[in-house]
Amino acid sequence: MAALAEISDRLVEQLLERCKQGDRIAQFELYKRYTKAMYNVAVRITRDVMEAEDVLQEAFVRAFRNLHSFKGDSTFGAWLKRIVINTSINHLKRKKADFVAIEDVKLDEYEPQPESFSSSKQTKRIHDAIMKLPEGYRVVFSLYLIEGYDHKEIGKILNISEATSKSQYSRAKKKLRNMLGDIAPAALMARSG
């Protein structure tokens, strides 16, 4: 396995060098390699597939234009993910999507219906519930639990306080528990906030 990872890392390094020289084929190869994962990140933040496609294209253009600033301190994928996240958030800001003030939100009570769910149905229901979260909750929840950022990093990315990030995450978990009822898996809420 380690040998495959080394080969993959070397291939990415070679593609990056070719991209820096303006090689369009290398750019397309990097795009194909990372597009699915980065698209998923953009969808989670924008909550709209068409907007996510626009964000994805803009993020890749930015990445290729600024490839000279990639120093290799992290993996290319991590560097690109940061660009996708920032582009998604900037897109939301351009749309004047304000974060939800905690005082203004009423938590809906959801009565779960007793039913049997398959794993894929549960996954879809969880995904749909996350997408229904208010903008601020959803973005903080996604950045923290799914993307793995801590509250301090989220605060810097979103230009909010660390306490606001923690509060938004806590409220998001509570709202998801109410929406999902009996299927709210412990793993979904596992990371302590």
**pLDDT per residue as tens digits for the range 144-191:** 887 888 888 888 888 889 999 899 999 988 888 888 876 655 545 555
78 and 114 in a common domain: no
Q: What's the CATH code of the domain at 9?
A: 1.10.1740.10
> What is the tens place of the pLDDT at every residue in 115-145?
444 567 777 788 788 888 888 888 888 888 8
* Number of domains the chain is built from: 2
**Do 170 and 116 belong together in one domain?**
yes
Question: How open is the CA angle 191-173-80, to the nearest 5 degrees?
Answer: 60
| Share above pLDDT 70 across residues of the chain, in percent, rounded to a whole number | 78
**What tens digit of pLDDT does each residue of 28-69 get?**
999 999 999 999 999 988 888 999 999 999 999 999 999 999
Q: Are residues 84 and 137 in the same domain?
A: no
Q: Which domain holds residue 82?
A: 2-94
**Is there a single domain that holds both residue 23 and residue 107?**
no
Quick one: 86 and 125 in the same domain? no
Half-sphere exposure (CA, 13 Å, Cβ side) for 97?
18
State whether 111 and 42 are in the same domain: no
DSSP per-residue letters across 97-140: -PPPPGGGPPPPP--PPP----HHHHHHHHHHHHHHS-HHHHHH
